[in-house]
Amino acid sequence: MGHFPYPVCVAIGTIDGAGSTGVLADIKVFMALSCYGAAAATSVITQRREAALCRVQVCMQTSAEQLRAQLETLASSLPIRAVKIGYIPEAHLIAVVEQWLRAQSRVPVVIDPIILTSQGVPLTNPAVIRGLCEQLLPLGTLATPNRLEAAMLAGMDECLDIADMEEAATRLRARYGCPILVTGGGIGGRHIDLLAALDGISHFESPTVPRSKIAGTGCAHSAAITACLAKGDSLREAILGAKAYVQGALRGAPTLPDGQGLLWHGFTVRDEALAEVSATDFGLPSSTHAAF
């Protein structure tokens, strides 16, 4: 393939028409971070918010043949630089993704193991969890389970504090060979993620943004890591860059009438566009954008 000016990131996961999670949200993140986003759908879901809880009402699964065709088309038409894997509803679809990943030229792969809702309700079955662990994690550059997911995957009863996070991440790293970033959420008023990699344990702490319930932060975080890796960042640089991106998207998040917040993925693009418009309105060259 000829030169393409933007790193291409592929998201594999579900289509959520609201755009707050799944591959639609991933593509927004890729664009905001100056990457070209493409996607292969494993399913289409509809969700309904009830009393601040988000419930999946309908899940229409993609067939293995449809998913394979999507992935083969992407590989043949785009110079893929990184891949993010999100929700996969059935084990036979995991087998399709595994086969396709093995045919790629060692691009970074970020796995967001979506197996539970934010309230801890299972979204999938044991065969999917087994396939995720045994077929996909060994191919991953990074996996980003939250505390609940890390505990389930590691065979632990709970993951309530930093020591538990370290235990879960260490177990999973040793078992499957993939670096594990356990995302911590709020622990005693702090937001700490914990990475278990080949060179040991690292902590990544960020300020807690005082907001109401925000949809899609986990999806955005893993997609931002994917974009940073596609641009050539090291793993730790990508994690730090993704945390900074999510912080900005949280601060700009609009709130729906029911109190639910939605990440604002356009904050970097918007700021650049406003500068462009300002310079044009005043008849100024692009080099003066910083003044606005």
Amino acid in position 58: V
3 in a structural domain: no
pLDDT tops 90 at residue 269 = no
Confidence of residue 119 (pLDDT cuts 50, 70, 90): low
Give tens-digit pLDDT for 105-118: 789 999 999 887 66
112 in a structural domain: yes
Give tens-digit pLDDT for 187-232: 766 788 999 999 899 999 877 766 567 778 889 999 999 999 999 9
**173, two tokens:** 């790293």
Give tens-digit pLDDT for 34-74: 999 999 999 998 766 554 445 555 678 999 999 999 999 99
Residues spanned by the domain of 24: 8-291
221 in a structural domain: yes
Q: Which residue has better confidence, 86 or 265?
A: 86
Give tens-digit pLDDT for 167-184: 999 999 999 999 999 997
Whole-prediction pTM: 0.88
Of 2-16, 79-93, 113-127, 270-284, which has the strongest mean pLDDT? Answer: 79-93
pLDDT tops 80 at residue 94 = yes
Confidence of residue 283 (pLDDT cuts 50, 70, 90): very low
Q: Pick the closest to residue 269 from 245, 291, 244 (CA basis).
A: 245
User: What's the pLDDT at 278?
Assistant: 47
Q: Summarize the confidence of residues 99-105 as an average pLDDT.
A: 92
- Whichever domain contains 32, its CATH number is 3.40.1190.20
157 in a structural domain: yes
Query: In terms of DSSP bridges, do strands 36-50 and 8-16 run parallel, antiparallel, or are they unpaired?
Result: parallel
Give tens-digit pLDDT for 139-174: 999 999 999 999 999 999 888 889 999 999 999 999
2 in a structural domain: no
Range with lowest mean pLDDT among 1-15, 59-73, 87-101: 1-15
Confidence of residue 249 (pLDDT cuts 50, 70, 90): confident
Q: Summarize the confidence of residues 11-31 as an average pLDDT.
A: 92
142 in a structural domain: yes
Give the per-residue SS3 of the chain.
CCCCCCCEEEEEEEEECCCCCHHHHHHHHHHHCCCEEEEEEEEEEEEEEECCEEEEEEEEECCHHHHHHHHHHHHHHCCEEEEEECCCCCHHHHHHHHHHHHCCCCCCEEECCCCECCCCCECCCHHHHHHHHHHHHHHCCEECCEHHHHHHHHCCCCCCCHHHHHHHHHHHHHHHCCCEEEEEEEECCEEEEEEEECCEEEEEEECCCCCCCEECHHHHHHHHHHHHHHCCCCHHHHHHHHHHHHHHHHHCCCECCCCCEECCCCHHHHHHHHHHHHHHHCCCCHHHHHHC
Mean pLDDT (the chain, rounded):
85
Q: Summarize the confidence of residues 4-9 as an average pLDDT.
A: 94
1 in a structural domain: no
How many domains does the chain fold into? 1
User: What's the pLDDT at 282?
Assistant: 38
User: What's the pLDDT at 247?
Assistant: 86
259 in a structural domain: yes
